[in-house]
Amino acid sequence: MLLAASYYGAARGPDSHGFDIYALRGMAMRGINENILDPAASLSDELIGSVLNVAAYEALFGDRDAYATHMSGLQKIVQIRGGLGTLGLNGLLQRMILWIDSNASYVTGFNVFFDKTNFPTSVDHPALNLAMFGIRRDSHSRP
């Protein structure tokens, strides 16, 4: 909901929907933090997808340093899980991580977080597709 409402608000204006973006962000963070403390959920595909989506939100609409914090946490979860190749959804989650990593790292100015040296995979980072990645505030975009 956080990412969808943010995209909608960016495209149609912040008053175009009835969602409080800060409340949605807080709810997402609470859910992530609760699941990190739950041994059964702390390495789940659902948690990995949630962290990835909050990282994407931060890259596009929030704070670039918060993006880096979420991606660093995601690296740790994926490492503990056993690497990108162990993720579920028939490889979709791995491809989502690499796609967001490529595009968000470019717009925030960071190097990719899931480089092949530390996260070996048979899947390459996809080419940049900033038009599909989303709207980005000029104040944070890389020159």
- In the chain, where are the structural domains located? 2-140
Q: What is the pLDDT of residue 47?
A: 96
Q: What is the pLDDT of residue 135?
A: 54
- Give the percent of the chain with pLDDT over 90: 60
**What is the residue type of 106?**
Y
Q: What is the pLDDT of residue 6?
A: 82
Please provide residue 39's backbone torsions phi and psi, each rounded to the nearest 5 degrees. -55, -30
- 143 band by pLDDT with thresholds 50, 70 and 90: very low
Q: What is the pLDDT of residue 133?
A: 77
Per the listing, tokens 């041994």 go with 39
Retrieve residue 114's tokens.
């899931």
